[in-house]
Amino acid sequence: MMNDSTATGIREPSTGELVKQLSEQVSTLLRDELKLAQLEMSRKGKQAGTGAGLLGGAGLIALYGVGCMIACAIIAISGVLRPWLAALIVGAALLAVAGIAAFIGKARLSKATPPVPQETAESLKADVEVIKEKVKR
């Protein structure tokens, strides 16, 4: 008695051929996932570069504005106190604010995680699940 696949002329692949196909497909899948990760990181890098440039420009302009405000505060206080004492008071206040900002910034940086290509990671997890399901059959 012939089975249906030989009766129709369709030959079932051997285990060796199936393993070879699996190896080729996994290799192709991994290469594609790596390309996806590379593209995603490139896109994020460009966005980060543009954002950093804009923030840098804004910071420079803000620095000039803060300098003007500091000069204004010193001039205003010097109407009541000696100019050197006014500058000392404003300088001490600025150093206190800078210390607080540095402390908060350090705490936030320690909580940050390294950037990861999340789309690729999720895609890889889905691929692994599909492969696991196929192997169970």
Q: How far is CA 10 from CA 3, 6, 71, 84, 92, in A?
A: 10, 6, 88, 97, 87
- The percentage of residues in the chain with a pLDDT greater than 70, rounded to a whole number, is 88
**Domain limits of the chain?**
17-136
Report pTM. 0.45
Alpha helices in 79-113 (DSSP H): 83-111
Summarised one tens digit per residue, pLDDT across range 39-54 is 888 888 888 888 889 9
Summarised one tens digit per residue, pLDDT across range 10-63 is 888 888 888 888 888 888 888 888 888 888 888 888 888 888 899 999 999 999
Average pLDDT for the chain: 85
Closest alpha carbon to 120 in 29, 59, 55, 47: 29
pLDDT value of residue 93: 94
For residue 115, is it left (φ>0), alpha (ψ between -120 and 50) or beta? beta
pLDDT value of residue 1: 44
**H/E stretch holding 125:** helix 118-136
Q: How far is CA 89 from CA 62, 79, 93, 99, 122, in A?
A: 21, 14, 6, 16, 54
pLDDT value of residue 137: 67
Summarised one tens digit per residue, pLDDT across range 72-115 is 999 999 999 999 999 999 999 999 999 999 999 988 887 766 66
